């Protein structure tokens, strides 16, 4: 099955009342519902999507000196995407910045929507992972 992941940063200043009264309920350039939207398509055949609340994500990589790291980031809402022809894939965000997560499945497509609050700075260290600044590993802040 195909899978599309949409992540939206909610605009805290958006007014549905203003949209209703001035533009038939639709957003305008001066009254946008989202500050930005990311869209990703999973290229493998997706079998299942599981929501994992209050989970940990392991951020791993290499430092400038060539040493490797793997640091646990707790308090994450993750979506585990299982495919028949690829490794498990994780997307998600810190629980503190999640407004809502929607997972919809029809006969041949998964659609994942992650809505992020516009109240706190965050980092996006890899595609599909959003970590609140206050929860970002201090070991990786230089």
Tell me the DSSP string of 55-86.
Answer: EEEEEEEE-TTS-EEEEEEEEEEEEEEEESSS
pTM of the complete model beyond 0.95: no
Stated as kind and residue range, the H or E segment containing 21 is helix 16-23
Per-residue pLDDT, 30: 86
CB of 118 closer than 8 Å to CB of 97: no
Q: Pick the closest to residue 103 from 121, 115, 89 (CA basis).
A: 115
- Residues 34-67 have pLDDT tens digits of 999 999 999 999 999 999 999 999 999 998 899 9
- Report how far residue 64's alpha carbon sits from residue 34's, in angstroms, rounded to the nearest whole number: 35
Answer for the pair 115, 93: CB distance below 8 angstroms, yes or no. no
Report how far apart the first and last C-alpha atoms of the chain are (Å, whole number).
Answer: 41
Tens digits of pLDDT across the chain (142 residues):
999 999 999 998 888 888 888 888 888 888 899 999 999 999 999 999 999 999 999 999 998 899 999 999 999 999 999 999 999 999 999 999 999 999 999 999 999 999 999 988 999 999 999 999 999 998 888 7
Q: What is the pLDDT of residue 18?
A: 85
Pairing of strands 122-126, 109-116: unpaired
Specify the pLDDT at position 119. Answer: 85
């Amino acid at each position: 099955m195909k899978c599309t992941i949409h992540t939206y940063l909610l605009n805290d200043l958006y007014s549905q009342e203003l949209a209703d009264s001035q533009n038939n309920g639709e957003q305008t350039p001066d009254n946008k519902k989202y500050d930005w939207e990311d869209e990703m398509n999973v290229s493998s055949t997706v079998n299942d999507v599981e929501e994992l609340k209050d989970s940990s994500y392991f951020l791993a990589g290499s430092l400038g000196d060539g040493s490797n790291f793997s640091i646990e980031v707790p308090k994450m809402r993750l979506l585990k995407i299982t495919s028949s022809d690829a490794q498990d894939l994780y997307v998600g965000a810190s629980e503190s910045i999640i407004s809502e997560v929607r997972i919809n499945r029809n006969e041949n497509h998964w659609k994942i929507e992650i809505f992020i609050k516009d109240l706190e700075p965050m980092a996006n260290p890899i595609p599909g992972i959003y970590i609140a600044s206050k929860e970002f590993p201090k070991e990786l802040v230089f």
